[in-house]
């Protein structure tokens, strides 16, 4: 989606945003950890809206792209906008996977796999603590005060 500023937060903004994280959020978002399966607050969320980066507020996934993968983590078949996600080769844990990070702030989100439903056949498997949720019709978060599209509402 056009209009979202992907410029990373500066050092002062980043420190302010990181100060709002709890221990579990820090472990996942900043240290590339993983929350336990079947315990995330967004696993069974069925409300309409937009999932955003917990740290910087960038829209990442629409509820219309969410599906029940049975894996224990919230799963989506397509991102809000392709440029909002950055993909990184992850060879930790004795396997090769594709890690997903927020394209703006670099926070760890989860991993993407090629076993999702049509039309993309992708399964973006995310940690709930990496996300915030904005119900449809409510203002999107704008923790960096950038305005523009970021001052819009969840669709």
Termini Cα distance of the chain: 12
My answer on whether omega of the bond before 119 falls inside 30° of 0, hence cis, is yes
Is 56 annotated as ligand-binding?
Answer: yes
- Nearest CA-CA partner of 153 in 138, 132, 135: 138
Q: Is residue 102 annotated as involved in ligand binding?
A: yes
125 belongs to the catalytic site:
yes
Point out the catalytic residue in the list 50, 58, 101, 125: 125
39 is in an annotated binding site: no
Please tell me whether 53 is known to bind a ligand: yes
Residues with a catalytic annotation lie at 125
Binding residues for Zn(2+): 53, 56, 102, 105
Binding residues: 53, 56, 102, 105
């Amino acid at each position: 989606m056009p209009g979202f500023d992907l410029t990373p937060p500066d050092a002062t903004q980043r420190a302010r945003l990181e100060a709002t994280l709890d221990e579990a959020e820090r472990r996942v978002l900043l240290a590339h950890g993983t929350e336990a399966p079947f315990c995330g607050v967004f696993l069974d969320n069925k409300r309409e809206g937009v999932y955003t980066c917990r740290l910087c507020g960038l829209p990442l996934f629409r509820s219309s792209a969410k599906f029940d993968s049975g894996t224990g983590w919230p799963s989506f078949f397509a991102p809000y906008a392709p440029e909002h996600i950055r993909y990184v080769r992850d060879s930790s844990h004795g396997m090769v996977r594709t890690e997903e990070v927020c394209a703006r702030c670099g926070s760890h989100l989860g991993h993407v796999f090629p076993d999702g439903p049509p039309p993309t056949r992708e399964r973006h498997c995310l940690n709930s603590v990496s996300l915030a949720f904005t119900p449809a019709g409510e203002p999107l978060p704008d923790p960096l005060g950038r305005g523009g599209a970021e001052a819009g509402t969840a669709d």
